[in-house]
Structure 1
Amino acid sequence: MKTSTFVYPWDIVGDPDAAARIADLGVQQVTLAAAYHSTRALTPRHPRHRVVTAEYASVLYPPDAARWARHELKPYTPGGWASGDAYGEAAEALAAAGLDVHSWVILAHSSRLGAEHPGTSVVNAYGDRYPWAPCIARPEVAAYLTELAAEAAVRPGAGGTELESCGWYGFGHLHAHDKTAGIALGDAAQYLMALCFCAVCREGYAGRGADPGELAAAVRRALEPVWATGSTGTGRPAVEKLLGADLAALTFAWRGTVARTFQESAVAAVRAAAAPGFQVLLHADPVSYRVGANVGVDPAHILGIADGVVLPCSGGAARDVLPPFAGHRTGTSVLAANFGVVGGMGGDPAGLARNAARAAEYGATELRLYHAGLASDADLAAVRAALPGIGRL
Structure 2
Amino acid sequence: MESSVLAFATDLLDEGADAFFGNLADRAGVGGLTLASVYHEARDVFPHNPRRVVRYLEPGAAYFRPDPARWAGRRLAPVPSTAIGERDPFAEAAAEARRRGLRLHAWTVFCHNDRLGFAHPDCAPANAFGDRHLTELCPANPEVREYALTLVDELARYGVDAIRAESLHFHGLRHGYHHERYFEELGAVAEALLGVCFCPHCKAAAAQAGVPADEVQQAVRDELRARLADERKAAEPAALDALADGTVAAYLDSGARTVTSLAADVAEAAAGHGMRLTFMDGAGPGKGWLSGIDLPTLAKAAHQIETLGYARTPEAVREKVAAFALHGVRPQDMAVILRPMAQDCDGPENLAAKIRMLRELGVPEVEFYNYGLMRLSSMDRIGAALRS
Relative to the length of structure 2, the TM-score reads 0.84
Matching residue of 1:249: 249
- Cα deviation for residue 208 of structure 1 reads 4.2
Counterpart of 2:158 (choices 131, 156, 159) is 156
Q: For 1:217 and 1:86, locate their aligned partners in 2 and report how far apart those are by CA, in whole Å.
A: 48
Contact 2:211 2:251 in 1 (8 A): no
- Cα deviation for residue 61 of structure 1 reads 1.1
Question: Which residue identity does 2:303 align to in structure 1?
Answer: D
Moved more, 88-97 or 194-203: 88-97
- Cα deviation for residue 388 of structure 1 reads 2.3
**CA, structure 1 residues 102+182, in 2 after alignment: closer, same or farther (shift >3 Å)?**
farther
* Deviations 1:152-187 (CA, angstroms, capped at 9, x unpaired): 3x242322221111222232322222324864754x
Name the % identity. 25
**CA, structure 1 residues 355+14, in 2 after alignment: closer, same or farther (shift >3 Å)?**
same
Question: Which residue identity does 1:86 align to in structure 2?
Answer: P
Matching residue of 2:335: 336
**CA, structure 1 residues 245+211, in 2 after alignment: closer, same or farther (shift >3 Å)?**
closer
Matching residue of 1:283: 280
Contact 1:105 1:149 in 2 (8 A): no
Contact 1:73 1:140 in 2 (8 A): yes
Correspondence 1:311-326 to 2 at 5 A: 311-315=307-311, 316=316, 318-325=318-325
**CA, structure 1 residues 319+244, in 2 after alignment: closer, same or farther (shift >3 Å)?**
farther
Matching residue of 2:137: 134
Contact 1:7 1:371 in 2 (8 A): yes
- Cα deviation for residue 50 of structure 1 reads 2.5
* Deviations 1:232-291 (CA, angstroms, capped at 9, x unpaired): 97xxx94325x256223311331122112111111112222x13xx33211124448446
Correspondence 1:63-212 to 2 at 5 A: 63-81=66-84, 83-152=86-155, 154-180=156-182, 183=185, 186=188, 190-212=191-213
**CA, structure 1 residues 217+142, in 2 after alignment: closer, same or farther (shift >3 Å)?**
same
Matching residue of 2:7: 7
Contact 1:340 1:369 in 2 (8 A): yes
Q: For 1:379 and 1:196, locate their aligned partners in 2 and report how far apart those are by CA, in whole Å.
A: 41
* Deviations 1:201-248 (CA, angstroms, capped at 9, x unpaired): 233334444544432232244444487366697xxx94325x256223
Contact 1:240 1:248 in 2 (8 A): yes
Contact 1:39 1:53 in 2 (8 A): yes
Matching residue of 1:377: 376
Moved more, 16-25 or 318-327: 318-327
**CA, structure 1 residues 184+155, in 2 after alignment: closer, same or farther (shift >3 Å)?**
farther
- Cα deviation for residue 329 of structure 1 reads 6.2
Matching residue of 1:309: 305
Matching residue of 2:269: 269
Relative to the length of structure 1, the TM-score reads 0.83
Moved more, 28-37 or 83-92: 83-92
How many residues are aligned here? 374
Higher helix residue share: 2
Question: Which residue identity does 2:138 align to in structure 1?
Answer: C
**CA, structure 1 residues 185+79, in 2 after alignment: closer, same or farther (shift >3 Å)?**
farther
Moved more, 334-343 or 354-363: 354-363
Q: For 2:252 and 2:360, locate their aligned partners in 1 and report how far apart those are by CA, in whole Å.
A: 31
Gaps of 5+ in 1: none
**CA, structure 1 residues 22+385, in 2 after alignment: closer, same or farther (shift >3 Å)?**
same
Matching residue of 1:219: 220
Q: Secondary structure at the match of 1:282?
A: strand
Q: For 2:2 and 2:317, locate their aligned partners in 1 and report how far apart those are by CA, in whole Å.
A: 20
**CA, structure 1 residues 280+210, in 2 after alignment: closer, same or farther (shift >3 Å)?**
closer
Contact 2:260 2:293 in 1 (8 A): no
**CA, structure 1 residues 245+84, in 2 after alignment: closer, same or farther (shift >3 Å)?**
farther
Contact 2:63 2:84 in 1 (8 A): no
Q: Secondary structure at the match of 2:144?
A: helix
Q: For 1:260 and 1:196, locate their aligned partners in 2 and report how far apart those are by CA, in whole Å.
A: 16
- Cα deviation for residue 322 of structure 1 reads 4.3
- Cα deviation for residue 363 of structure 1 reads 4.8
Contact 1:307 1:334 in 2 (8 A): yes
Contact 2:278 2:304 in 1 (8 A): yes
Q: For 1:216 and 1:130, locate their aligned partners in 2 and report how far apart those are by CA, in whole Å.
A: 16
Q: For 1:47 and 1:313, locate their aligned partners in 2 and report how far apart those are by CA, in whole Å.
A: 29
- Cα deviation for residue 43 of structure 1 reads 2.9
Q: For 1:306 and 1:204, locate their aligned partners in 2 and report how far apart those are by CA, in whole Å.
A: 21
Contact 1:150 1:266 in 2 (8 A): no
* Deviations 1:27-80 (CA, angstroms, capped at 9, x unpaired): 211111112122223332232233332222122111111111243322212112
Q: For 1:59 and 1:12, locate their aligned partners in 2 and report how far apart those are by CA, in whole Å.
A: 15
